[in-house]
Amino acid sequence: MTQVEFWTGIGVTQSSGSRYESGYVMPRPTGELLRLVYIEGIDVSQLTRMDFEIAQFIKQDHPDLYHTLQSELRSKSATTP
């Protein structure tokens, strides 16, 4: 993967990315996108506001369901190579 491909994956130009790599302070939203895309492996281009609202609703209003789903996904991830 080139620098251009890496940085455009989170909507940052190669020149800005190069500045961050050399010590320029990265804005918090950029760092969070970097974490979501490259550490968590989330394809943010597929997410919508509704996805977040649904997750928040389930987490706040149906915590038992949220924890059940969380456990199911963890179990599934543990058995998937």
Q: Which two tokens stand for residue 3?
A: 């620098």
Q: Whole-model pTM? A: 0.70
Q: Judge whether residue 80 has pLDDT over 80.
A: no
Distance CA 44, CA 32 (A): 11
Measured CA to CA, the distance from residue 41 to residue 34 in angstroms comes to 10
Segment 23-79, tens digit of pLDDT: 999 999 999 999 999 999 999 989 999 999 999 999 999 999 999 999 999 998 888
DSSP for the chain?
A: --HHHHHHTTT--HHHHHHHHTTPPPPHHHHHHHIIIIIS---GGG--HHHHHHHHHHHHH-HHHHHHHHHHHHHHHHH--
